[in-house]
Amino acid sequence: MRLEYIKNKIRTIDDFPKKGIQFKDITTLLADANGLRYTTDLFAERYQNSGLTKIVALEARGFIFGSSLADRLQVGFVPIRKKGKLPYKTVSISYALEYGTDTMEMHEDALNKNDKVIIIDDLLATGGTALAATELVEKFQCHIHEIAFVINLSDLPGQKRLSEAKKQIYSLLTY
């Protein structure tokens, strides 16, 4: 019932940002109090007995789900941000985009080898950002329990790329 409710709150916008793309818009899910709560509930139920110490989330939409989940599980929250957005010393990783590269960063003291984490974001598409985030977190030598998404776009290569890299993923919804 809750998954169907969540799915019904995600709007599909045809031909955005370009022709042929069916964009999954989560703003309608976020605007719905029950939808947002159900999303957090389902993640919390999955991870409540996992021994997690931190939730690592990707800028920007991952922050929404990650901070809510961290609060619910009573664990720390660690943001991964774009280059130049964090005020303290950082650890960074650069990764390839379709046209160019990008860099993401975390504070150098955000994690340690004793941490057990999940990495969370709203959507898995090509997997490039998720793989880069995983490599960044692995620099801290902590245990990555899983990489979690609200949505997995199964017709794109993200799930395959993460599986080939031997990364455990979980998503609430698959399209």
Give the three-class secondary structure for 99: coil
Tokens describing residue 67: 């901070």
Could you give the residue numbers annotated as active site? 61, 98
Separation of alpha carbons 40 and 72, rounded Å: 8
| Largest distance between two CA atoms of the chain | 46
CB 125 within 8 A of CB 156: yes
Beta strands in 45-132 (DSSP E): 54-58, 76-82, 90-97, 100-107, 116-124
